């Protein structure tokens, strides 16, 4: 078993530096423009595809890195470049994880390549779980999938919201209710292939931050998908539902995670790595500014009030990274999250990004509040990291339940 490492090896450092170069040369010069345009940055994603940075092969290589550090290293560098552009490049990964987590080998081999396309024809994918009345409360999900046995098809109806790449994706992964009586245990995930009738984009959201990333509603009106588009297959689903019905007679709510939660649990350290990248970027801008900004005849970093803030910022960034790396290594090594370490990493990194970007704005003073400097954009981008893929409050609830064994509400 690979030991937990606190530093990257030579090959990993080479990959990190390569991604960092892309962030410096391509992402940062384009970041402000795409933030203002609030459009999906196809040209930037295509540039990433041309060099192999946006590709199934690259992400598979990082996903199967035996140290567990490939994915967090990649995401930290991309989001150091810019969060909106980073999410445009990385957003497909959540749908891919949904298939890797719940799908068969054949489904992984069939659908994941179609999520990325190639350098000549770039594609994206969307994971659709949240609904207008079902965000953190996945048991309130209303999107329904009904099996048509005569045609071996699933018929899906409902509306999804907050879907990254929703409506513009080539492949959509949709979580739906298959047995309403089982609550959150009666969910399953489905592939909706490209061009399937009945799927359409609803409202596109105008957001506070990560504005280069496309976020929209996805409307499913009589969508029919073949039986083989049920992730994991019907036999596995029937077995899982039967076990859930047996448990329902005893303690309701026990058992293994549902389809949406399995995906989120696997992705939380990766989201934490994104937040680390944003926080690190803001800290570096603030440090450079404090060393060069002169007031009262000396650099402002000479003042303890500024210097101590920067010390705290760097400490939090490094601590957040270590929590993310630990959770990523544990997941790769097959170590159970006995203290909800995945949620810990996302909670602390998300709160760190929000705090550190606010401190960076404060250190830059009036300049930090203007769009001439990037920290105001970083602060807007960071705000979502205490909200999406489980709010900070939900992460604390998960951690508290895990460490106590109690049904805390």
Angstrom distance (rounded) from CA 33 to CA 179? 46
Predicted confidence at residue 264, as pLDDT, reads 63
343 domain residue, yes or no: yes
- Among 226, 248, 270, the domain-final residue is 248
Can you give the pLDDT at residue 251? 55
Do 272 and 396 lie in one domain? The reply is yes
pTM of the predicted structure, to 2 decimals: 0.94
267: domain CATH number is 1.20.140.10
Whether 389 is catalytic is yes
The answer to whether residue 363 is domain-embedded is: yes
Find residue 324's DSSP bridge partners. Answer: none
Domain-embedded: residue 277: yes
Domain boundary among the residues 121, 138, 163 is at 121
Average pLDDT over residues 265-274: 89
The answer to whether residues 391 and 345 belong to one domain is: yes
Structure tokens at 342: 């995945």
Helices (H), 103-165: 105-116
Pairwise pLDDT comparison (287 vs 101), residue with the higher score: 287
- Tell me, what's the pLDDT at 184? 85
Q: What is the CATH number of the domain that holds 177?
A: 2.40.110.10
Q: Is there a single domain that holds both residue 381 and residue 292? A: yes
Residues 6+ apart with CB under 8 A from 123: 92, 114, 115, 116, 117, 169, 170, 171
Mean pLDDT of 292-316: 98
Domain interval for residue 381: 259-404
- Domain membership flag for residue 117: yes
Q: What is the mean pLDDT of residues 209-232?
A: 98
Question: What is the average per-residue pLDDT within 303-314?
Answer: 98
Q: How confident is the model at residue 260 (pLDDT cuts 50, 70, 90)?
A: low
Region 235-247: what's the mean pLDDT? Answer: 93
**Going by DSSP bridges, is the β-strand pair 298-299/294-295 parallel, antiparallel, or unpaired?**
antiparallel
- C-beta neighbour count of 202 within 10 angstroms: 15
In this structure, the answer to whether residues 110 and 15 fall within a common structural domain is yes
- What rounded mean pLDDT belongs to the chain? 94
In a domain, 409, yes or no: no
What is the DSSP annotation of 82-105? -HHHHHHHHTHHHHHHHHHHHS-H
User: Which residue in 47, 77, 265, 389 is the catalytic one?
Assistant: 389
Nearest-angstrom CA–CA distance, 13 and 77: 11
Please check the confidence at residue 254 and state whether its pLDDT lies above 70: no
Query: Tens digit of pLDDT for each residue in 183-212?
Result: 889 999 999 999 999 999 999 999 999 999
pLDDT of residue 168: 98
- Report pLDDT digits (tens) over 138-147: 778 999 999 9
Looking at the structure, tell me whether residues 197 and 151 fall in a common domain: yes
* Domain identity same for 179 and 287: no
CATH classification of the domain holding 91:
1.10.540.10
CB-CB neighbours of 141 under 10 Å: 25
Among the three residues 90, 121, 152, which one is the final residue of a domain in this structure? 121
**Local confidence band at 267 (pLDDT 50, 70, 90 cut-offs):** confident
Q: How far apart are CA 154 and CA 115, in angstroms?
A: 21
The residue behind tokens 């010390």 is 311
Is residue 239 domain-shared with residue 187, that is, in the same domain? yes
For residues 357 and 373, state if they share a domain.
Answer: yes
Does 231 lie in the same domain as 217?
Answer: yes
Using DSSP's 3-state secondary structure scheme, residue 120 falls into coil
Residue pair 307/351 in contact by the 8 Å Cβ criterion: no
Residue 3 belongs to some domain of the structure = no
* Within-domain flag for 253: no
CA nearest neighbour of 38 among 388, 273, 381: 381
- State the Cα–Cα distance between residues 126 and 142, nearest whole angstrom: 19
| Chain centre distance of CA 94 | 6
Number of domains in the chain: 3
Shared domain for 391 and 271, answered yes or no, is: yes
Residues 230, 351 share a domain: no
The reported pLDDT for the residue numbered 3 is 84
* Over residues 127-132, mean pLDDT: 95
Question: Residues 197, 135: one domain?
Answer: yes
Confidence check: pLDDT of 71 > 60: yes
User: How far from 362 is each of 8, 63, 259, 403, CA to CA, in Å?
Assistant: 33, 37, 42, 36
Using a pLDDT cut of 70, give the percent of the chain over it: 96
Q: Is 255 left (phi over 0), alpha (psi -120 to 50) or beta?
A: left
Tens-digit pLDDT profile for residues 370-380: 999 999 999 99
Burial (0-12, 13-18, 19+ Cβ within 10 Å), 242: exposed
| Banded model confidence at residue 255, pLDDT cuts 50, 70, 90 | very low
**Residue 296 falls within a domain, yes or no?**
yes
């Amino acid at each position: 078993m690979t030991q937990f490492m606190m530093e990257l090896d030579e090959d990993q450092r080479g990959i990190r530096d390569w991604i960092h170069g892309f962030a410096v040369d391509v992402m940062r010069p384009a970041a402000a423009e795409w933030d203002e345009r609030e459009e999906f940055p196809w040209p930037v994603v295509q540039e990433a595809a041309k060099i192999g940075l946006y590709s199934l092969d690259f992400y598979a290589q990082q996903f199967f890195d035996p140290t567990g550090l490939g994915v967090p290293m990649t995401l930290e560098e991309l989001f150091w470049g810019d969060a909106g552009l980073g999410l445009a490049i990385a957003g497909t990964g959540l749908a891919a994880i949904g298939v890797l987590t719940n799908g068969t080998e054949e489904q992984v081999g069939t659908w994941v390549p179609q999520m990325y396309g190639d350098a000549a024809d770039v594609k994206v994918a969307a994971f659709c779980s949240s609904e207008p009345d079902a965000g953190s409360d996945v048991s309130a999900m209303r999107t329904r999938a009904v099996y048509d046995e005569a045609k071996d098809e699933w018929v899906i109806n409902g509306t999804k919201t907050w879907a990254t790449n929703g409506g513009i994706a080539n492949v959509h992964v949709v979580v739906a209710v298959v047995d309403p009586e089982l609550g959150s245990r009666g969910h399953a995930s489905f592939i909706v292939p490209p061009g399937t009738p009945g799927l359409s984009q609803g409202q596109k959201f105008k957001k506070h931050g990560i504005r280069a990333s496309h976020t929209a509603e996805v409307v499913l009106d009589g969508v029919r998908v073949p039986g083989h588009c049920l992730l994991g297959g019907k036999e596995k689903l029937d077995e899982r539902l039967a076990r859930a019905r047996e448990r329902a007679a005893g303690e309701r709510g026990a058992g293994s995670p549902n389809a949406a939660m399995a995906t989120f649990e696997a992705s939380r350290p990766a989201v934490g790595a994104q937040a680390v990248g944003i926080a690190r970027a803001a800290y570096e801008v603030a440090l450079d500014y404090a060393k060069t900004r002169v007031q009262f005849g000396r650099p402002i970093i000479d003042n303890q009030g500024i210097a101590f803030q920067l010390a705290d910022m760097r400490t939090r960034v490094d601590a957040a990274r270590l929590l993310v790396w630990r959770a990523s290594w544990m997941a790769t090594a097959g170590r159970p999250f006995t203290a909800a370490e995945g949620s810990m990493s996302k909670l602390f990194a998300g709160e760190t990004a929000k705090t550190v970007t606010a401190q960076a704005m404060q250190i830059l003073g009036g300049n930090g509040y203007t769009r001439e400097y990037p920290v105001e954009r970083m602060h807007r981008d960071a705000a979502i990291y205490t909200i999406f893929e489980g709010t900070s409050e939900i992460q604390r609830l998960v951690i508290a339940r895990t460490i106590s064994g109690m049904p805390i509400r």
